[in-house]
């Protein structure tokens, strides 16, 4: 029952986003290589500066400054997801984080915390 409710919410959210005409987006493209070899393709990321201006500016700065150059995907779950972008340690343990915890859509929530994976 929960799964059906969640699926319904996702569908409604997708319809709402699809019907928006006032959305301004920025595009970031990252070139991928396999083991440092030939170009393996491009990952295109669509950003929404009207919804998350500080996050978008931070991400674009990191990309444009080359912080993601030569980073690896440190976690791969086939058919599900990849994680990468740990440009400090290259293994997912990080070392650098923007000061965005508890911050969303221009509002700061003092009681929001992030404490690791799944937080």
pLDDT (0 to 100) of residue 77:
92
Q: Give 74-107 pLDDT, tens digit per residue.
A: 888 999 998 887 888 877 787 666 665 555 655 6
Q: Which residues of 50-68 are buried (b: 16+ CB within 10 A; e: fewer)?
A: eebeebbeebeebbeeeeb
Distance between CA atoms of residues 51 and 20, nearest Å: 13
> Distance of CA 30 to CAs 10, 38, 43, 52, 68, Å?
27, 14, 5, 20, 9
CA angle 112, 86, 46 (to 5 degrees): 75
pLDDT (0 to 100) of residue 79:
93
pLDDT (0 to 100) of residue 86:
82
Q: Which of 6-10, 22-26, 45-49, 54-58 is the most confident on average?
A: 45-49
């Amino acid at each position: 029952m929960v799964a059906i409710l969640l699926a319904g919410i996702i569908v409604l959210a997708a319809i709402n986003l699809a019907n928006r005409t006032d959305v301004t987006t920025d595009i970031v493209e990252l070139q991928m290589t396999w083991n440092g070899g030939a170009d393996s393709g491009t990952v295109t990321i669509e950003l929404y500066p009207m919804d998350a201006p500080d996050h978008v500016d931070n991400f674009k700065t990191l990309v444009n400054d080359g912080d993601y150059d030569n980073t690896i995907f440190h976690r791969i779950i086939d058919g599900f997801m990849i994680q990468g972008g740990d440009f400090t340690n290259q293994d997912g343990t990080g070392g650098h984080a923007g000061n965005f915890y508890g911050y969303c859509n221009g509002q700061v929530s003092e009681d929001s915390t992030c404490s690791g994976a799944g937080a």
